[in-house]
Structure 1
């Protein structure tokens, strides 16, 4: 706070009064003069406080993002940014809401109820094919953590081995399932709907199920169920995982906000890479069922999936046009999209570091 001292000056007052008196009889002029007097009108020194405007409050831009699942270390970049105040540093007042089996981040963002959503790359393409003007701005996973798990004692080494009478649980409409059926000996009749409950898998040695390599194998091992797995990305079908997207309108109207957001989550991922354990307690506060042991396991599995591949050279979040083109071609051949959408219409690297 700036303080100014103000003192009123002392001054000398000299009053000379000239009285012209005309004597009626003799014409003598008498001069009456007061004594020269010093009159000091000094007021007490007064301290005035003056507010400084040098540090005016910065107004934050209110935003909301929807993740792909309940709070988890797999979305560490977003949660680290919240924990460490990176959003505020970038000028954002961020609300993060979790996804889940009944939450459609695409619907929420396209309706304008949130500005940022998270989904798999093929899901973003399905939405664009339906006329929803989305654009991908960041890929959390260079290599999707999705895979097919099976009981470890089963003789499975390739996707073709799953054709031998296995019941295969996948989410309804999963693009990777259509691809596996088209490229391997797997039959559509083997498919079962994945509900998130692993009990059917546990009780059936001839069952296989979708999973995240960062999650289900750990929890099943805790139950005494050992698993093996095949990674979807190794099948020839390799969408980016947990892609962050917004609408084209929002991106074009607020490019500075998108840049601030990408800066914040990039800083979050880099901080996570340097000190992953720091985020564990924060996530447990948000999702008490999580444990430090599970997150440590997931962190180890995530290292190459997030920071490997093109991210090793270009930085976390990077996306390559050729990858998008390949995915678009595959979905078009599978008749899951109506046209070969130009890759440059569905993603941008303009905001990446």
Structure 2
């Protein structure tokens, strides 16, 4: 009996030292983003701000990107655990370069990339843009514009460099400009004082997923439960950011990016909803974050046809469907 008493006393002491019964230490992970804090990162900030990550046993630090940061190189060397990349071309490139990363979820069903034109210039359908000079960034020239040339007959002659300054667009009504549907049209409306004609490339067949979550293959193999919890909590964050109370998330975004305004945050959220950027297509059944083999093959085939990726690339190594398509959070979508 004395031994039983001593054992019980020792067990009680250990429990008291370790904190409340059932309490567990949170897993610390870091998410690197690909730009300064903005509404396009809202689901992740929401999951931090409203405690969703903590409910899933995670202590998440968000490391913002920016013009002088390259968070993606921190992922394969283990400095961060997850990275928010822009699209599937980066995932394909990781395979081509034998970088040990893998895409595990797609926050955006549609890439936000748009081409914008002035109203009143006879630009009524997408093909009409071939009549204009188009301001395209260096990255755009090596990516989506190669697809536009192959599938739509756009030409290099009509391109001028886009320097992320809208003034050349304002100055010439026969000029079109690239942008994100969540951002540049707002600048045109507020600075140029007119509503541009907008064409979302995703609605014209540019079928990449966007705002993808990447991680290291090692983490998928050794800690799949942690990866699953991060994906599930992040996608619930997106539901709550779009359809719930996002005030705390927006406050955290503004803390990380003091130049962000309430007006632009509201505009971006409205455009994400209007164009189905986050929640449309397959996500309506499979849940936000959804990816499918058929969709990724479609985009890969288009990029091969455009000469952007090599046909022999083992593109299926770029992603896994292990952590998505489970309908997590679907009940949070308004009926």
Aligned to 1:330: 302
Larger relative contact order (CA 8 Å, sep ≥ 6): 2
C-alpha deviations, 1:219-277, integer Å up to 9, x for none? 22111143111111122221001111112122112212101211221221122233154
| Structure 1 pair 331–102 and aligned structure 2 pair: CA distance change class (3 A) | farther
Deviates more, 1:335-344 or 1:187-196: 335-344
CA contact (8 A) 1:105 1:118 kept: no
- Of 175, 189, 192, the match for 2:157: 189
| Greater Cα radius of gyration, structure 1 or 2 | 1
User: Secondary structure in 2 aligned to 1:209?
Assistant: strand
Alignment RMSD (CA, Å): 2.2
CA contact (8 A) 2:39 2:265 kept: yes
- 1:342 shift after superposition: 4.2
Aligned to 2:20: 55
Aligned to 2:169: 201
Give runs of aligned pairs for residues 159-198 of structure 1, distance below 5 A.
159-172=126-139, 173-198=141-166
Aligned to 1:259: 228
Higher helix share: 2
CA contact (8 A) 1:328 1:340 kept: no
- 1:343 shift after superposition: 4.7
Aligned to 2:242: 273
Deviates more, 1:88-97 or 1:243-252: 88-97
Structure-2 separation of matches of 1:191 and 1:102: 26
Aligned to 2:333: none
CA contact (8 A) 2:106 2:210 kept: yes
Aligned residues: 305
- 1:140 shift after superposition: 1.1
| Structure 1 pair 110–194 and aligned structure 2 pair: CA distance change class (3 A) | farther
Structure-1 separation of matches of 2:150 and 2:126: 12
User: Secondary structure in 1 aligned to 2:75?
Assistant: helix
Give runs of aligned pairs for residues 297-316 of structure 1, distance below 5 A.
297-303=267-273, 304-316=276-288
List runs of 5+ in structure 1 lacking aligned partners. Answer: 1-48
- 1:337 shift after superposition: 1.9
- 1:81 shift after superposition: 0.9
- Of 236, 241, 248, the match for 2:210: 241
Compute the TM-score of the two structures, normalised by the length of structure 1: 0.80
| Structure 1 pair 198–322 and aligned structure 2 pair: CA distance change class (3 A) | same
Aligned to 2:6: none
| Structure 1 pair 55–78 and aligned structure 2 pair: CA distance change class (3 A) | same
| Structure 1 pair 149–205 and aligned structure 2 pair: CA distance change class (3 A) | same
- Of 72, 76, 97, the match for 1:110: 76
Compute the TM-score of the two structures, normalised by the length of structure 2: 0.84
CA contact (8 A) 1:121 1:242 kept: no
